[in-house]
Structure 1
Amino acid sequence: MPLVSTGELVTAARAGNRGIAAFNVITLEHAEAIATGAERAGASAILQISENAVKFHGGDPGAVTAAAAAVARASSAPLSLHLDHVESAALLKAAPGAGFSSVMFDASKLPYAENLAATAEAVRWGHDHGIWVEAELGAVGGKDGEPSLDAHTPGVRTDPAEAVVYVTETGVDALAVAVGSSHAMTRRTATLDHTLIAALRDAVPVPLVLHGSSGVPDEEIRRAVASGMVKINVGTALNTAFTGAVRAHLAAHPTTVDPRKYLVPAREAMAGTVADFLRVVGSATT
């Protein structure tokens, strides 16, 4: 079916008091697994391509985006394309031409005032070009070798009063918040601050986004969605499933040289993980 816009999927999830899962795409197999998992679950989903993934593919988003878009259009599930964790102004401005309907502009490493100013400019440009814009306030941590951060470390969690000002001043369409999760976790041990999630939901008028959901147990995700979290980002869990399946196949068949032999179980493992997360966030119908 035709690509759906991320804004449309997030708005529908929020109106239905459920979550919408967004999965990171690195390879063609990731995109195929996300589409297959969404079809099995009878759910919509977001295919995310990060700035780091673009760098992995040589710095040009064209090829990996075209592949993901082709997979999405061939799927019976409603799927959108989202450009994630963008720090480069050049990549931001390439988003509309590459086929993205949305961008997560990431100025979270900057001091608050600089983050706000840079994000406001990105939002103005994005809205002028039909792009739905997500931004981040707080320190989720764990990305690109950063340490995992405790939700109770001073200055780490997103402050609701600061979030109100930030959303008002920037005009963002969605806000990624720091409430206890961390990027790149391979064990699902994170505990979220559900009181803070509810306070942020009540404070700001835009949907909330949870980054680092791979490290969050199922019940914590369900509670987060019930407390007001809408967009649930998943990346490392797919890679864990992919790599585990590859390792298992090669251990059992050490003479294998045809990559299709181990990519098939790797893709299947990711598809199962996608379907599981879609059921957890409440968007699955099967």
Structure 2
Amino acid sequence: MNLVPMAEILNKAHKENYAVGGFNINNMEFLQGIIWAAEEMDSPLILQTSEGAAKYIGMDYVIGMVDAATKNTHIPVALHLDHGGSFEFCMKCIRNGYSSVMFDGSHYQLEENIKLTKEVVKAAHAVGVSVEAELGKLGGTEDNVSVEAKDATFTDPEEAVRFVEETGVDALAIAIGTAHGVYSGDPELDFERLKTIKGKIDMPVVLHGASGVPEADVKKAVSLGINKVNVNTDFQQAFTGKIREIFVEDSGVYDPRKYCGPGREAIKDKVIEKITFLGSNGKA
């Protein structure tokens, strides 16, 4: 595969003040729509699989499809594990060719999160693989794991400084008011907290749960230092919405190419939209 470490992509974004999409793939059509859009926009790209998606697709299939998609591409692409829940699964992804992993220890107490993240960083950096970690806890649902809004906690700036210094992570996902999954109303982002954290750690910062966040708010977050923006639900909704539309128009359609193809185009259009307001177009 023609992959690069995620840190290579994000360090450039950090220096030049734009963001790169961390776009989740769930099947072949998602992968094709995402990479075709990034190539058209001349944008660097971070392809992501959650643990659930990697298990659903099959690790061998993930690697095979990404290899086919990237071997002739002109853009820098990282393959990233999103929300890795254990050291063991992170290592499995690294052994199979991922160029970046996220270890999500946000549900642990700070000391344990630091300890476990540090172990992943040590092993990953030894083979040139980037590591993202999370500090603070987002509400919502990710891979059928739900966190109630009352249990969500914003990232503490001073803890962020300590966490980064002690773990050596390449990128830090922070909690400033976004959530995974579908929002019931517009989220309220704590931009002052973001500004403070970015000023203290001076490194790539990640925004999870960006699907459904108003474009103006995402743009403001990027202007204040967000360098990676995760998107999954928006693409799922675009893909499924297009398929529903086709079945309403013609309930007799049965050839998957007749509805998955348009679904793929809907994803491509949505990716182009995201790349444009994240500011990564022309940055490959």
Secondary structure class of the residue paired with 2:211? helix
Give the counterpart of 2:128 among 127, 130, 136. Answer: 130
For the residue of structure 1 that corresponds to 2:139, the secondary structure is coil
Q: What is the TM-score when the length of structure 1 is the normalising length? A: 0.92
Deviation at 1:44, TM superposition (A): 1.5
Q: How far apart in 1 are the matches of 2:12 and 2:128?
A: 18
- CA distance in 2 between partners of 1:217 and 1:203 (Å): 26
> Under a length normalisation based on structure 2, what TM-score does the superposition of the two structures give?
0.93
Residue 141 of structure 1 aligns with an amino acid whose one-letter code is: G
> 1:92/1:154 Cα in 2 relative to 1: closer, same or farther (>3 Å)?
closer
Instruction: Encode CA deviations 1:229-269: one digit per residue, 9 max, x unaligned.
Output: 11111111110100001111111111111101000110000
Counterpart of 2:63 in 1: which secondary structure? helix
8 Å Cα contact 1:135-1:176 kept in structure 2? yes
Q: Which residues in structure 2 correspond to 1:77-96 (within 5 Å)?
A: 77-96=75-94
1:54 aligned residue: 54
* CA separation of 1:69 and 1:83: change in aligned 2, threshold 3 A: farther
Alignment of 1:94-113 (within 5 A): 94-113=92-111
Equivalent-residue separation in structure 1 for 2:151 and 2:236 (angstroms): 31
Counterparts in 2 of 1:239 and 1:148: CA distance versus 1, 3 Å: farther
Query: For the residues of structure 2 that align with 1:80 and 1:33, how far apart are their CA atoms?
Result: 16
Query: What is the rounded CA distance, in whole Å, between the counterparts of 1:232 and 1:155 in structure 2?
Result: 19
Give the Cα separation in 2 of the matches to 1:136 and 1:56: 24
CA contact (8 A) 2:7 2:171 kept: no
Residue in 2 that maps onto 1:185: 182
**Correspondence list, 1:100-249, <5 A:** 100-142=98-140, 143=142, 144-147=144-147, 149=149, 156-185=153-182, 189-249=186-246
Partner SS state of residue 84, structure 1: strand
Consecutive unaligned residues of structure 2, counting only runs of 5 or more, are none
Deviations 1:68-112 (A, max 9, x none): 232122334332211111113222112233221110111111122
> Post-superposition shift, 1:285?
3.6
The range that moved more, 232-241 or 61-70, is 61-70
CA contact (8 A) 1:186 1:240 kept: no
Distance 2:275 2:172 in 1: 21
Instruction: Give the Cα separation in 2 of the matches to 1:155 and 1:168.
Output: 24
Residue identity matched to 1:260: R
Q: What amino acid is aligned across from residue 16 of structure 2 in structure 1? A: G
Q: How many residues align?
A: 281
- Partner SS state of residue 179, structure 2: coil
RMSD: 1.9
Q: Percent identity?
A: 37
